[in-house]
Amino acid sequence: MGFTYPVLTDFLLVANTAPTVIPPPAFPLFPSHAYTKVVHPEDTDIWPYRVYKSSNFTPPYFTVKRNGGAIAEGYLFMTPKSRGPKGAQQSLPVIMTNDNDLVYCLDGIYNYNNFRIQSYHGKPYLTAWEGFSVTGHGYGQWFLIDDGYIKNTIPFGGSFNIDLTDKTPPGFMDFHEQQVTSEGTVLVTAYNITPFDLSKKAGSGAQWVVDSLLYEIDIETKEVVFLWSALDHIDPLASRMALPSERGDGSEELPYDFFHLNSMQLLTPDTILISSRHFWACYLISRKTGDIIWMLDGTGENGMGNFGPLPLEGQFRYQHHARGFNVTDKGFRLSLYDNHHREGETNSMDSRAILLDVSMPPDSKIPPVVLRSMNPLERVISYSQGAYDAELSNGNQLVVNGQIPIIREYGPSNNSADIRWEGRFGNDNLVQSYRAFKSTWKATPKEWGPSLVYEKDGSDLTAYVSWNGATEVKYWRLYEVGIGAELKPLGQAAASGFETVINIPSHLNETQCILAAAFQDGKEVRLSNRACHETQH
């Protein structure tokens, strides 16, 4: 349950009201520091988490390691959640600092995935999927949030045959991908249970598959401008996924997930790069006709796909988050997270990040060149999820291990030992983050104000103040709230961390009610709720 931000409307500074700026000499500087309390549950299956006085959010507490090398600028964007009944204290999207503190937590009632920054019409937005998940896919909708935390939801209805029976989802969009294009559209996935004769592979009772669908939606008009179906172009009988398996037996109750579309990207204006987890392959499809232009097979087998067989260090299975960049007529670079395992099927290869140099046009005699294979220093087997950003702002790399809850920032080379930053946020296979990202973000909330708690312990007065999502606050100015809503300046304190602890001098110990003003860009921009301590007798 999230925190409710009370607002004292008499004191609210609205956008069209010029706030009164009292000269700094009227505000003596009070000592302050960040609130850093961590809870270590007695049940060690539940990972340690942060707590605050002025907020009910309980984000994970990272176990952080660094090697002293330079790390990229920005915050971490992630969706930590439990994989079962226990694991994470809180399952909500968060923005976290490299120093293990909360910046923003998105409060809500749904499951969330793919929380990140994307550019839409040249402006950065927070984007994420919300809905309900079942094994391997989900049903929901997608939204954008601007730098004032104003939310714009893209609904996704239609007629779908789904396997979610105990809840009513907000839509039918799948959680795997929602990729904004430079043309003001978004590429999204959907899963639909569809009849198909699987008897040649699994007997007469196998008559149902999960069809992977790609939709391109105009964000402004919310109209579908392109639709692609895996079943229209791919033979389910050729899938690498076992039948029966944990991904279905072909019955209507457990349809066979033969393709499992899990990432999509506009590679050129006329083509879309897609990834199929269950074919161990990436495809390029026509954005106009939907036809498959080429297939990059991950197995290393001769004669598979349109390229030469991959060498061992570049082979992939059950992969996630395929991304192409540095695209020219002569080729492009392809990054992906190679899980290489699924539940019930393991091998000697580690789950890891891979970077390939892919030559164009495709040639069955020329395999892609392996530029990086970021084999972890310890054994990592991640059956699901994962992400790889091969080019952070300073050239570093971010690797997210899915159901193994470790995020690592590597240096810019093919050196797995150069771990510049590592954060663990759960026990293996008990906590996960489908993906995670690192980006800069500046925001000032319009939908809610700061939250203030005021405590008195003997002669000690302490204020605790936070403003969920505010990134630019430099100081907190404190006022005494008197009779008739009169505001008397008390002092100011440097903002520190998600929640700033302000020690109020003892000569002000008769002050019973206060409020805090967020000070940034040379002015007060928003006032908190009024907070009063209980009078001690």
Confidence tier at 3 by pLDDT (50, 70, 90): very low
Asked if pLDDT for residue 20 goes beyond 50, the answer is no
Residue 6's pLDDT is what?
36
pLDDT above 70: percentage of residues in the chain: 95
For 389-401, write each residue's pLDDT tens digit: 999 999 999 999 9
Query: All domains of the chain, ordered by start, with CATH?
Result: 9-30+445-532 (2.60.40.10), 162-264 (no CATH)
3-state secondary structure 404-423: CCEEEEECCCCCCCCEEEEE
For 49-91, write each residue's pLDDT tens digit: 999 999 999 999 999 999 999 999 999 999 999 998 899 999 9
DSSP letter string, 116-174 = EEEEETTEEEEEEEEEEEETTEEEEEEEEE-TT--EEEE---S-------SS--S--B-
For 339-396, write each residue's pLDDT tens digit: 999 998 999 999 999 999 999 999 999 999 999 999 999 999 999 999 999 999 999 9
Asked if pLDDT for residue 426 goes beyond 90, the answer is yes
Residue 27's pLDDT is what?
87
Helix (H, G, I), strand (E, B) or coil at 348: coil
Give the C-alpha separation, 138 to 132, whole Å: 6
Containing H/E element for 105?
Answer: strand 102-105
For 218-248, write each residue's pLDDT tens digit: 999 999 999 999 999 999 999 999 999 999 9
Helix (H, G, I), strand (E, B) or coil at 10: helix
**Cβ neighbours for 114, distance < 8 A, ≥ 6 positions apart:** 79, 127, 128, 129, 175, 176, 177, 178, 434, 435
| Segment 248-264 mean pLDDT | 97
Question: Measuring CA to CA, how many Å separate 246 from each of 140, 243, 344, 481, 519?
Answer: 23, 9, 9, 61, 54
Which residue, among 236, 230, 121, 120, has the nearest Cα to 178 in the 3D structure? Answer: 120
Tally Cβ neighbours within 10 Å of residue 375.
15
Asked if pLDDT for residue 2 goes beyond 60, the answer is no
What's the token pair of residue 436?
């995670």
Mean pLDDT of the chain: 94
Q: Whose structure tokens read 């990229």?
A: 72
Asked if pLDDT for residue 411 goes beyond 90, the answer is yes
Residue 211's pLDDT is what?
99
Helix (H, G, I), strand (E, B) or coil at 229: strand
Residue 501's pLDDT is what?
99
Give the C-alpha separation, 226 to 177, whole Å: 15
| Segment 509-522 mean pLDDT | 94
What's the token pair of residue 260?
């499992």
Residue 355's beta-bridge partner residues? 335, 372
Give the C-alpha separation, 66 to 56, whole Å: 29
In terms of phi and psi (left: phi > 0; alpha: psi -120 to 50; beta: otherwise), the region of 287 is alpha
What's the token pair of residue 182?
């430079």
